[in-house]
Amino acid sequence: MLHSLLAFVFVLGVLVFVHEFGHFIVARMLGVRVITFCIGMGPKLLKFTRGGTEYAVALLPIGGYVKMAGENPDEPHTGAADEFLSRPKWDRFRILIAGPVMNIVLAFVLMTVVLAQGAQVPIFESDPVDVAVVVKGSPAERGGIQPGDRIVKVGSQRTNTWEDFFLAIGGRADRDVKITLLREGRETVLTVKPEAQTKMRIGDIGVLPKVHPSIRSLVPNDPAEKAGLKVGDVVLALNGDPIVFSSQLSAEIRKHPDEQITLTVQRAGATLDVQVTPRRQGEIGLIGIGILDPFRTVQPNLLGAAKLSFERNVQFAGLIVQTLRGLVTRETSPSQLMGPVAIAQMSGDTAAAGWISLFGFMAMLSLNLGLLNLLPIPVLDGGHIFIMAVEGLVRRDLSMKMKERLMLAGFVVLMLLMVTVMYNDIARLGPFDRLMPGNR
């Protein structure tokens, strides 16, 4: 718990600092006087003043702010050139957009660092979505999807690769979605309702690609070696059911302690059936093998990593836009949204996996923060930019009463969003999971 909390404070602290520093540095460059630069909210724990600006760290690590002279319309203004509202709209626009832009830049830099370290990616990730396996009892089977079908669209989104497909279907848990597929050269549209998987409620319909794990090691004198299995054997099926991923194979073996199972393997181009009986260890079965999923290694140079980072961030940005649009059209379940508790849990998990994993998580979170702040919702940076754009179009400032109404509307939207994400966070906690509607 403490580990997750510390990771959360670090992650959010960095993202908030970068965001607020964007506002701060551009304001200073344009000659706007900054009164306060604060990281965190609530009572100030640390503070000092330098160059007329108070720098502070507050108690709650859930935000931050840059307070500029003459920023609020209801405060007294002197009309001095160093006041925010005295500056031309173009200057104010640059100050407001600097925060989100800094978060987007941070996402690009962090993802470049991650990708430059090299990575193993599934070999099927960039292949067309040719269905090799339809899981028994899955939404895909109930919806009529068959092995041999090629999925080309999820809703209105084209799925040229398995990566596209998993990203598209993952955001549509518990929502009916149109699946467009090619079957024997003809286009067919079916309706499928993805099921929510894991506490993050990721949508899944139960279709799998044509890949299989291989045996990379054997424990001497354990059942696998005694049964004649060899390093390099590719496991095709267990008791006749297709095996695609190593996790699937492990889970199935664990279900059969002291029960003979049949593994269908491919060895030197030949297909063999091998009978093996998992030994019992407690309540699970083990046969003594190390398993490897089929991966390819990506090791780009710095320029290549930057190019891949740009492409990956564009892809993630599209997914964020798709999720937001889906929330409006009800194609995306609100249960997909995460709040501070879920982010803290994921921060702890990724930090435990190492700095590279943590940087990858921070990159995605920073991109989310940057793009969400550009939404035209009053209170957010994008809301202030939207109001300025409206004033520019009508060639006059909106009345204080109108601005107050817009700000109130934005506040209500944010409160509804906060209630939703906190509800989701509570629903993901084990002790409360069964008490939440739809989680039984």
pLDDT, tens digit (0-9, with 9 covering 90-100), for 252-273: 999 999 999 999 999 998 999 9
Q: Which residue has the tokens 């939703």?
A: 420
Q: What is the pLDDT of residue 438?
A: 43
Q: What is the pLDDT of residue 440?
A: 40
DSSP state of 130: B
Q: How confident is the model at residue 161 (pLDDT cuts 50, 70, 90)?
A: very high
**pLDDT > 90 in the chain, percent:** 54
Mean pLDDT of 8-22: 93
Do 237 and 243 touch, CB atoms closer than 8 A? yes
Closest CA to 406 of 371, 377, 375, 381: 377
The DSSP code sequence of 343-410 is: HHHHHHHHHHT-HHHHHHHHHHHHHHHHHHTTSS-TTSHHHHHHHHHHHHHHTSPPPHHHHHHHHHHH
Q: How confident is the model at residue 348 (pLDDT cuts 50, 70, 90)?
A: confident
- Please give the residue that has the higher pLDDT: either 383 or 72: 383
Q: What is the pLDDT of residue 1?
A: 64
Domains of the chain by residue range: 2-116+362-433, 214-293
Residue 170 DSSP SS3: helix
Tokens coding 35: 């009164």
- Please give the residue that has the higher pLDDT: either 414 or 314: 314
Angle 128-131-136 from CA coordinates, rounded to 5°: 155
pTM, entire model: 0.74
DSSP state of 332: S
- Please give the residue that has the higher pLDDT: either 419 or 33: 33
Do 165 and 126 touch, CB atoms closer than 8 A? no
**Is domain 214-293 in CATH 2.30.42.10, yes or no?**
yes
Segment of 212-221, 344-353, 422-431 carrying the highest mean pLDDT = 212-221
- Residue 429, pLDDT > 70, answer no
Mean pLDDT of 131-142: 93
Q: What is the pLDDT of residue 435?
A: 40
Catalytic machinery residues:
20
Tokens coding 309: 């980072």
Least confident window among 64-73, 151-160, 173-182, 408-417: 408-417
In angstroms, the first-to-last Cα distance of the chain is 26
- Residue 372, pLDDT > 60, answer yes
Angle 79-84-86 from CA coordinates, rounded to 5°: 35
- Residue 436, pLDDT > 50, answer no
Q: What is the pLDDT of residue 58?
A: 93
Mean pLDDT of 356-384: 90
Q: What is the pLDDT of residue 329?
A: 76
Cα 347 off chain centre by: 12
E-strand ranges in 117-176 read 119-122, 133-134, 150-154, 157-158
pLDDT, tens digit (0-9, with 9 covering 90-100), for 56-90: 999 988 889 999 998 887 777 778 889 998 999 99
Tokens coding 125: 């990730």
